[in-house]
Structure 1
Amino acid sequence: MDIVIGILFMLGLMPFEVTTAAGDGGVFCDNLRLVSATLPNKTSSSSQHYATDAAGQDPDVAYVLALCRGDVNGSACGECVADTLRTLNDQCGVYNGGTYFNGSCTVAYSFQNLLEPSNAEEPFERWNVNNITGDAENVRFIAGLIGELLSETVRTAAGEARRFATGVLDTGRTFPLVRSMAQCTPDLSAGDCLTCLRRLTGMINSTMAVRMGGQMHVIRCYFRYEAYLFYEGQPMVAHPMVRLPGVAAPPLAPVSPTNTKRHKSKLWIIPIVLIPVVVFFCFIIYFGCQRKHRKGKLGLQESRTENLQGEEDLVLGLEGKNPEFSVFDFDRVLEATSNFSEENKLGQGGFGAVYKGQFSDGMDIAVKRLATHSGQGLIEFRNEVKLIAKLQHRNLVRLLGCCSHGEEKILVYEFLPNKSLDFFIFDENKRALLDWYKRLEIIEGIGHGLLYLHKHSRLSVIHRDLKPSNILLDSEMNPKISDFGLARIFSSNSTEGNKTRRVVGTYGYMAPEYASLGLFSIKSDVFSFGVLFLEILSGKRNSGFNHSGDFINLIGFAWSLWGEGRWVELMDETLVSENHSAEMMRCINIALLCVQENAADRPTMSDVVAMLSSKTMVLSEPKHPAYFNVRVANQEQSGVTSVNDLTISVISAR
């Protein structure tokens, strides 16, 4: 029987379809756990970051394969494989075979031998929703160049010992640089790798060829290309138009022969004149570079001393211990954002503005510049640096580093091109781009991100400000939780509430026990997730929701419809025509369980993820939710400057 492939790619999740294993599922899952204990270390310590293993006896053998991306370091590789295997083990009782593809690693498991070749394997594919723009000639030209880049990248990957290659293309037109990647499992021969990759590229049809980015994957090989930088290091393949450091330029065309007899007698003058000039300029360049290097090194050292003096706890020694975290020079951030120009501004939040930037190596970034007038800015800055720099998950936004310069407090994140979730679900036209399956992926991705924060991360974290504007979307519309300025660390062994006199968060998403008593726990995040869940299903805001002229919040509207059996009226009208009524009803049930008034009645995120992953698990009937008869004002009535939501701070709880 073929493996049914379940996808988790670039930090987003899709549920597995169940495969039927021969034998007892419990024994199979025990065998999978045995492999999971050693495979992450085997993969990360391998020179090629690739490993396979198996445990048990037929018919319950658990075969597992793990491959990390060729540009990922050993520690990140091990963390990715370990994190993915945790998810697989959690779901093993339901799904006993599948493949998870994500941004850093691929993990496949089955009760059948994964190393047996299969040309019948259906690829997973995902394409950018945007097409190449311009007239037909421009589209054909760029699509053709991208095709050439992919062919060369595939050929290079097959010829490398690691079976991995990256590439870059400059079309020579007003089009961003295109980056490419191809990889096979390194145990494939060069010929088998090339065959596997060419099978995938051969499936690109005329519709796919004009997309701004895309990817296709099977267990043993994959390719990807994007109109932005998504890999580390210098590209290994370059189109002839590209001239980048470290990439060999194509050979120059041969020069036509000319008649040299007339000047042959004077050729001896050239070296006499040229050599001293070359030597002179070499000395100038050498001493100039040395001086600049010393000055730059000294300046950076002084800058870091000045910026972090008295604030050593801001970075907690993360630079050096965490190779993916950097302390950036302020001038470099200024240059990347064009001096924080309005053209680069992405949005304005309660704690400051966010700007798009690009480093000189072409890497796109998002820069969060905390407002100097905000009394909470430094608190948020310290919190985010301490927390998110230690958190690594496919559904959390990645913090690249920070910068502290005088009064400037700056956080540098990975850039996510599709903005935030509210940009789509609350826009009448854009939310039509999110079909039922994509919305389920987004909901599940957020759920897994919260589960990681609550249970699986090194620091157990309560987010405290989960809302659509804090869910960012990557190029494949996969969700990433962002904005950890209000987050709190808690004991991973406790689900009981912590109390604070400083209640911070966003009205409409705060659990009742937190808003009124200052009590927060993992169940506070579950409540916020439930509100967000209802907003994704309905396309309506909880705050300022208006129905038939009477103000009532979205939770109350959903509860009313649920009790009357008219739940379908809650769903976004663009989804109603889709034949998923049983799944929709189940999702509304789960969302209402999350927003129940008493925290003890709400499920944990482990329960929520299990309910979302299974179509057969029996769900309990929800009790009445919190705020079901309370009006929630929208941000236009608040007078507080916030792009998407009203953020409030209550100094003393009632």
Structure 2
Amino acid sequence: MMHRPFRAAGAVLAAVVAGLVCAAGVAEAGTGTFIYAGCSPSKYQPGTPFEASLESLLTSFANAAPNAGYSTFTAGANGTGGAAAYGLYQCRGDLDGGDCAACVRDAVGQLGQVCPAASAASLQLEGCYVRYDGSNFVGAPDTAMVYRKCSTSTSSDGGFLGSRDAVLGDLQQGAGGYKVASSGSVRGVAQCLGDLAAADCTACLAQAVGQLKGTCGTALAADVYLAQCYVRYWADGYYFRPAQDSQDDVGRTLAIVVGILAGLALFVVFVSFLRKTCN
């Protein structure tokens, strides 16, 4: 008679743990996760025509994002005194309109906090990218590396390296703008800016892969962002880890839940023992 309560307690514990793991997984892949930002050292003065143009530009981003994953805008170009503002946004290729719009709004908000009053700035979140400048950069070739991250953990295992190279080779063919790839235990994603021609996109991705291999070596996970494209790969179970504070929170929650369920299990055993004694 005692095995049924144990099975029930185990089922509850499994359900709770599974729920926590799933919730952590959703948080780990949040589109609003900050990746990098670049801010010009020069500042614009409050109340100037450029500030008005920039506000109009950023508003255009938010208005367009529900219907388009990539757009470029110009505001104030007909004015004088350097009032024009040029910019673009792009969402990750797998996002729907609602998620794209939410990410762009988040990026615009973070941009104002990270780069206050910057004359030019860019910001990359997990799910989208925004950039503005007082000079027209849209469509101009640019292969400068703006961000790189290599995991401290490495692997010289032949199976891993073969899968990684297969993924990176597949990603280099992502001339359609956004591509995901997998091989064995390795996953990857790549994306080019929406205004790049197919040949330019392929060339950009090839350069990103070359820099990734050259600078990150045998890292289990790596990101390389060039000005007009990016390539990322990771080994299963490595890349989308929560931040340390999130790990601590989940760990504390699990400890509390396990403690409660352990107490519950002991209580069930005690009650079963009393029933058996009474019978």
**TM-score under structure 2 length normalisation:** 0.68
Secondary structure, counterpart of 1:202 in structure 2: helix
One of 194, 197, 202 as aligned partner of 1:189 = 197
In the alignment, is residue 213 of structure 1 matched against residue 221 of structure 2? Answer: yes
One of 206, 227, 231 as aligned partner of 2:235 = 227
Residue aligning to 2:165: 147
Kept in 1, the 8 Å contact 2:87–2:138? The answer is no
Shift of 1:206: 4.8
Q: Over aligned residues, Cα RMSD in angstroms?
A: 3.0
Unaligned runs of 5+ in 1: 1-8, 171-176, 232-345, 354-368, 375-654
Residue aligning to 2:208: 200
One of 162, 178, 182 as aligned partner of 1:168 = 182
Secondary structure, counterpart of 1:197 in structure 2: helix
Secondary structure, counterpart of 2:145 in structure 1: coil
Look at both structures and tell me which one has the larger radius of gyration over its CA atoms: 1
Residue aligning to 2:65: 43
1:348-397 deviation per Cα after TM superposition (whole angstroms, max 9, x unaligned): 546314xxxxxxxxxxxxxxx975969xxxxxxxxxxxxxxxxxxxxxxx
Shift of 1:17: 4.3
Distance 1:97 1:371 in 2: 54
1:186-223 deviation per Cα after TM superposition (whole angstroms, max 9, x unaligned): 22111011011111112134551300111111232111
Q: How many residues align?
A: 219
Residue aligning to 1:500: none
Shift of 1:85: 0.6
Q: 1:40 to 1:370 in 2, by over 3 A?
A: farther
Residue aligning to 1:30: 52
Mean Cα deviation higher: 90-99 or 29-38: 90-99
Pairing of 1:208-607 with structure 2 (within 5 A): 208-228=216-236, 347-349=251-253, 351-353=256-258, 371=261
Q: 1:44 to 1:123 in 2, by over 3 A?
A: same
Secondary structure, counterpart of 1:125 in structure 2: strand
Distance 2:46 2:204 in 1: 32
Q: 1:370 to 1:218 in 2, by over 3 A?
A: farther
Kept in 1, the 8 Å contact 2:37–2:122? The answer is no
Shift of 1:141: 4.8
Secondary structure, counterpart of 1:118 in structure 2: coil
1:170-192 deviation per Cα after TM superposition (whole angstroms, max 9, x unaligned): 1xxxxxx2111111122211101
Return the structure number with greater relative CO, CA threshold 8 A, min gap 6. 2
Shift of 1:94: 3.9
**TM-score under structure 1 length normalisation:** 0.31
Percent identity among equivalent residues?
22
One of 52, 68, 75 as aligned partner of 1:55 = 75
Shift of 1:29: 2.8
More strand by share: 2
Shift of 1:86: 1.5
Distance 1:127 1:201 in 2: 13
Distance 1:352 1:80 in 2: 33
Q: 1:194 to 1:74 in 2, by over 3 A?
A: same
Shift of 1:35: 1.8
Kept in 2, the 8 Å contact 1:29–1:92? The answer is no
1:58-87 deviation per Cα after TM superposition (whole angstroms, max 9, x unaligned): 513221211110111211110000111122
Kept in 1, the 8 Å contact 2:167–2:181? The answer is yes
Q: 1:352 to 1:64 in 2, by over 3 A?
A: same
Shift of 1:10: 6.6
